[in-house]
Structure 1
């Protein structure tokens, strides 16, 4: 049995999953999707199609100028572990340049949407959303914006015009970011990241040529609170979670990914989703993430504290 299926099989005892459901690679639950608007942003919603359990919301903050459609495989895989994954296209003008630029305040719109969607009798998710629980996913620029959210900071270029603390929803419970760090562009030490009350995982490709692995290591060390994790995906580059390498409009990564793209997506999504589930109290997910998952998954190395 592969490491991935073994992990899913152990999760079969949690939250009403059956072993038959767990064996449906690459998902635990089959997923469905629909398009909507979250705040002012067009958004794609991915969710488990066959469970009646209450579902926390996972907001995915996109990389710079990476269209939401590029994250379908990653979002579906995370959703399959029991999340409503919200993937907006957040368009704004940054220093005179219009584009898809994630912002630290997007979580505010997500929690408003979640409460309204849960109460909408015409929604496929009516009565199924845990509107009191938000987790964050993020990629590159979006992950950096998410670090601002975690700290309650509205700092340019990731956010403008809001007072300190205003961007951090009380519903925020955990975060997992890919290809993300807070090392200054010109170099120097990573400033401390106060993630108190928000368990945080950094998932990093080992051959990322845009966001250096050393910068992710420095950011991991700068996280002030636990649980925290640094999951390095061997052979993945900066676009290891998008459906194809170097999505149109995004800054290309000249470093060649050596890990199969589908496996890179599955591995990154699995570790992100299980870290988030562990942070929300899922004991079996916590056992996978904290005790034995990296021992059977040859695609990753994991540093963590909890």
Structure 2
């Protein structure tokens, strides 16, 4: 393990333990959440944060699915924010293969780092002096999750990156992606992902767009740990959206068994707790690696910690 990778994986947990005294516990799942609109590198964005925010809080950047507007993730973003995150959901529109629509790309991670530092300093911001500018985590759905996999694998991958190399911002400490895989649309193969931070896949068992088998193949190509895959029964590709089949996006072949509220709660809980664990939260770590699978009848979990 290289020094850079060691610092990314080991140092956050060490610092969390070393400075635990005097730090309040993360917000609860039912904590009130507030929101406001902002702009991230020119992209309109919705920002969700615990209403009673009183300390420096990490940012979670949400990378949207292809052709899915940010408003469709409001319930999921609020659910994750309630666990103690500032969730930022930009609308990132760009031209891709002659189509000008919502398509995330890898540079958004660096853009979000710039935004969170500026927002922490901005007079009048509800987040002034409340952003933990040294820590950011990634969320992603479908195309956005695939872009996120290239971020955490620190690989410049077309169509998510336009260059020869890519360097992940050091502020990124963990990632959780829903309905995502790295299957090549051209060759049908799965590239090896050299994880730089703890990474989780959350996969709906009834997903007819990003197939469960492709998530399993992607998980098997993720080298180094911690890594985890959470399989959610009764959930399809749009299980974290406010409603099924958002206008303009690729439709699902069939309905999911769970209500949207149920699938959103499950996905948000597992994502939030995994990301808290990645930053050294001991209770969250116990849940995602030891007790959560047995306590939750709606999931089956495989992981390497």
- TM-score scaled by structure 1? 0.90
1:82 corresponds, among 81, 84, 109, to 84
1:47 corresponds, among 46, 49, 60, to 49
CA deviation after TM superposition for structure 1 residue 188, in Å: 4.0
Superposition pairs for residues 129-148 of structure 1, below 5 Å? 129-148=131-150
For residues 157 and 226 of structure 2, the distance between their equivalents in structure 1, rounded to whole angstroms, comes to 25
2:103 corresponds, among 101, 115, 119, to 101
Please give the per-residue CA displacement for 1:121-166, whole angstroms capped at 9, x wherever unaligned: 2100000000111110000000001111112222211122x34134
Question: Aligned with 2:194: secondary structure?
Answer: coil
Q: Residue in 2 aligned with 1:11? A: none
Q: Residue in 2 aligned with 1:172? A: 172
CA deviation after TM superposition for structure 1 residue 282, in Å: 0.1
Higher deviation after alignment, 282-291 or 250-259: 250-259
CA deviation after TM superposition for structure 1 residue 52, in Å: 1.0
Higher deviation after alignment, 296-305 or 149-158: 149-158
Partners of 2:64 and 2:104 within 8 A in 1: yes
CA deviation after TM superposition for structure 1 residue 90, in Å: 0.2
Q: Residue in 1 aligned with 2:19? A: none
Partners of 1:151 and 1:165 within 8 A in 2: no
For residues 17 and 280 of structure 1, the distance between their equivalents in structure 2, rounded to whole angstroms, comes to 13
Q: Find out whether 1:207 has 2:206 as its counterpart.
A: yes
For residues 186 and 97 of structure 1, the distance between their equivalents in structure 2, rounded to whole angstroms, comes to 18
Provide structure 1 residue ranges, at least 5 long, that are not aligned to the other structure. 1-13
Partners of 2:122 and 2:128 within 8 A in 1: yes
Q: Residue in 2 aligned with 1:6? A: none
Question: Aligned with 2:193: secondary structure?
Answer: coil
Superposition pairs for residues 100-119 of structure 1, below 5 Å? 100-119=102-121
- TM-score scaled by structure 2? 0.90
Question: Aligned with 1:230: secondary structure?
Answer: strand
Superposition pairs for residues 14-29 of structure 1, below 5 Å? 16-17=24-25, 22=28, 27-29=29-31
Higher deviation after alignment, 181-190 or 77-86: 181-190
1:151 corresponds, among 142, 150, 153, to 153
For residues 42 and 195 of structure 2, the distance between their equivalents in structure 1, rounded to whole angstroms, comes to 28
Q: Residue in 1 aligned with 2:302? A: 303
Q: Residue in 1 aligned with 2:37? A: 35
Partners of 1:38 and 1:88 within 8 A in 2: yes
For residues 25 and 276 of structure 2, the distance between their equivalents in structure 1, rounded to whole angstroms, comes to 14
Question: Aligned with 2:140: secondary structure?
Answer: strand
Question: Aligned with 2:223: secondary structure?
Answer: coil
Compared with structure 1, are the counterparts of its residues 17 and 280 closer, same or farther at alpha carbon in structure 2 (3 Å cutoff)? closer
For residues 193 and 60 of structure 1, the distance between their equivalents in structure 2, rounded to whole angstroms, comes to 20
Aligned residues between the structures? 284
CA deviation after TM superposition for structure 1 residue 95, in Å: 1.3
Higher deviation after alignment, 148-157 or 47-56: 148-157
CA deviation after TM superposition for structure 1 residue 15, in Å: 5.4
For residues 159 and 242 of structure 2, the distance between their equivalents in structure 1, rounded to whole angstroms, comes to 27
Q: Residue in 2 aligned with 1:292? A: 291
CA deviation after TM superposition for structure 1 residue 119, in Å: 0.9
For residues 276 and 212 of structure 2, the distance between their equivalents in structure 1, rounded to whole angstroms, comes to 25
Q: Residue in 2 aligned with 1:273? A: 272
Please give the per-residue CA displacement for 1:58-101, whole angstroms capped at 9, x wherever unaligned: 00000000000000000001001111100000000001110000
CA deviation after TM superposition for structure 1 residue 51, in Å: 2.9
Question: Aligned with 2:37: secondary structure?
Answer: strand
Partners of 1:29 and 1:51 within 8 A in 2: no
